[in-house]
Amino acid sequence: MGIQFRKRQRFGPLILNFTEHGFSSWSIKIGRWSWNSRTRAHRVDLPGPLSWKQDKSRA
């Protein structure tokens, strides 16, 4: 298993994700709700270690 480079830049609720190949995806997080451009999934953080995820690409 090799070493992977990942970098995350935050600009308020907007998050830009980078890998060794450059820009990979962006996310937006507002409160407990978030959405990722690569997976097109909605996620809601629930109390404790739980979260709910709806994958839009499969719906």
Nearest to 3 by CA among 19, 25, 16: 19
Nearest to 45 by CA among 53, 55, 37: 53
pLDDT of res. 54: 87
pLDDT of res. 3: 82
Give the model's confidence band at 38: pLDDT under 50 very low, under 70 low, under 90 confident, else very high.
Answer: confident
Q: What's this model's pTM, rounded to 2 decimal places? A: 0.67
Q: Which long-range contacts (CB under 8 A, 24 or more apart) does 18-26 make?
A: none
Residue 5 pLDDT greater than 60, yes or no: yes
Residue 58 pLDDT greater than 60, yes or no: no
Task: With beta carbons less than 8 A apart as the criterion, state whether 44 and 52 touch.
Answer: yes
Over residues 28-53, mean pLDDT: 89
Give the model's confidence band at 15: pLDDT under 50 very low, under 70 low, under 90 confident, else very high.
Answer: very high
Q: Report the C-alpha gap between 27 and 43 in whole angstroms.
A: 11
